[in-house]
Amino acid sequence: MTLQECLGLSFKLQKFITIPNYGEKSWTIGSLGRILPILVCTCGALSDIIHALIVPRVPQVEDSSVVSRTVSKMDYMVNCMGLIVIVILGFHCNSDHLTMYIHINDFEKRLLWGQAEIRKRQLRNNRDVCICIFYNIFLNCVFFYINFATYDLRSGILYMIYMITMCVSDTITVYIVHIYKEVHTLARRLRLRELLLRNELNTFLLLADFLNIIPHLNSALGELTFLTFIQHIICSSFSSYIIFWTIFDTNMPLELFIFCIACIFWMIRSTGCIIYLSISGNNLSDEITNLLRCINKMNERGNQENFVFNQDQMLLWSHHLDTRIIAGGFLEINNSGIFSIICSAVTYLLVWLQFKQLEDFNYI
C-alpha cells in the first residue's frame, strides 16, 4: 500500500473518478455509488456545452467581435469536453489502471520504507492537490464575480459544475505527475540505496521487475496524459489570444482589467500543468536511463560466467523493452513539452489574429 499511502488525497479522489472499483473484485453498488457524482458532473458538462452555444459566456468578449466570441466559447467547451473524455478514458483504461497498481505494489514489497519518509511524501502530494483545487476555485470565483449580473439560477448552477470540472481536470494532471514522481523515487532508491550491491540474482530480478512497470504505467496513464497535453495546449492558446485582444484591442475599464488579469492566471494554469507534467516525465526518463547505465557498471562478485550471462541478457532485454514514458502511444513525455506549448500558443495566436484582421477588413 506504499504507493497509495504516498499519493494520499490524489489517490482518494481517483477512487471517485477513474478507479471507483479499486479494491473490489468486480463492479458493485459501492463502486457505482462512488462514480455517481462524476457522472452527474459529466451530464452537467454536456449540458453546459449546449448552453454555451446559445447563451453568452463572457460578456466582456461577447460584445466585441465574432472571433473573440468564438475563442471564448471554444475555450469553455474544450474544458467541459475534457471531463467527458476523462470519464470515458477512465472506463476504457480501468483494468490497465488497476494492473499498474498491482505491479507497483508487488515491487514495493521488496523494498524497505520508513514511515517518516512515506508521511513526508504524502504531505507533499496532498499540498499539491490542495493548491490545485484552491487555485481553480479562486480563479473561477473571480470570473463568476465579474459576470455575476448576467447569471440566472440555471447559469449559476452550470458554472458551479464547470468549476468542479476544472478542479477534476487539474487533479488528474497532479495525480499523473505524482505517480511519475513515485516511480522516479522507486528507480532512484533502487539505484542509490545499495540494492545493487546485493547478490547478483536478486539484483537482476529487481531490475527486471522495475522495468516491467513502465509498460503498465504507459498503458494505464498514457491516454489520460495525452488528453491533458492537448487540453492545456488548446486552452493556453485560446487564453493567449483573449489576453492579447483585451490588452491591445480594447479600452481598459476596471472590470475588463480584472478580467484580463484573471485570463493571465488562467493561461498560467494551463502552461504550468504542461511544464509540471513535462518535467516530471523527463526526470523519470532520465532516472530510468541512469538505472540502465548501472547495469553496465555492475561488477562480478561470484560466479563470473553466470554473472556475465545475466548481465548480457538484461542489457539485450532492456534494449528491446520500451522504457520511455509515452502518452497516447507515440508522444514521449520530456522537456520538449515546454517548447511545444510555446510554439502552439504562438502559432494559434497568429492564426486567430489573421481571422481578426479579416473580420476587421470586412467592417471597413
- The crossing angle, in degrees rounded to 10, of helices 254-297 and 153-192 is 20
Q: Which three cell numbers stand for residue 349?
A: 495566436
Q: What is the DSSP string of 228-246?
A: HHHHHHHHHHHHHHHHHHH
pLDDT of residue 244: 75
Task: Tell me the pLDDT tens digit for each residue of 213-253.
Answer: 888 898 888 888 888 888 888 888 777 777 777 776 656 67
pLDDT score at 177: 92
Q: Could you tell me which of 227, 232, 219 has the C-alpha nearest to residue 325?
A: 219
Residue 175's pLDDT is what? 93
Ranges of residues in the chain with a pLDDT under 70 are: 1, 24-27, 51-72, 112-116, 148-151, 193-201, 248-252, 297-305, 336-342, 344-346, 348-364
CB 175 within 8 A of CB 7: yes
Alpha helices (H) in the chain, listed in sequence order = 2-7, 9-14, 29-54, 59-62, 66-92, 94-108, 115-146, 153-192, 200-249, 254-297, 304-320, 336-363
**Domain residues of the chain, as ranges?**
3-363
Separation CA 180–CA 185 (nearest Å)? 9
Q: What pLDDT does residue 362 have?
A: 58
Looking at residue 130, its pLDDT comes to 92
Predicted pLDDT of residue 178:
92
pLDDT tens digits, residue range 128-140? 999 999 998 888 8
Residue for cell digits 511524501? 121
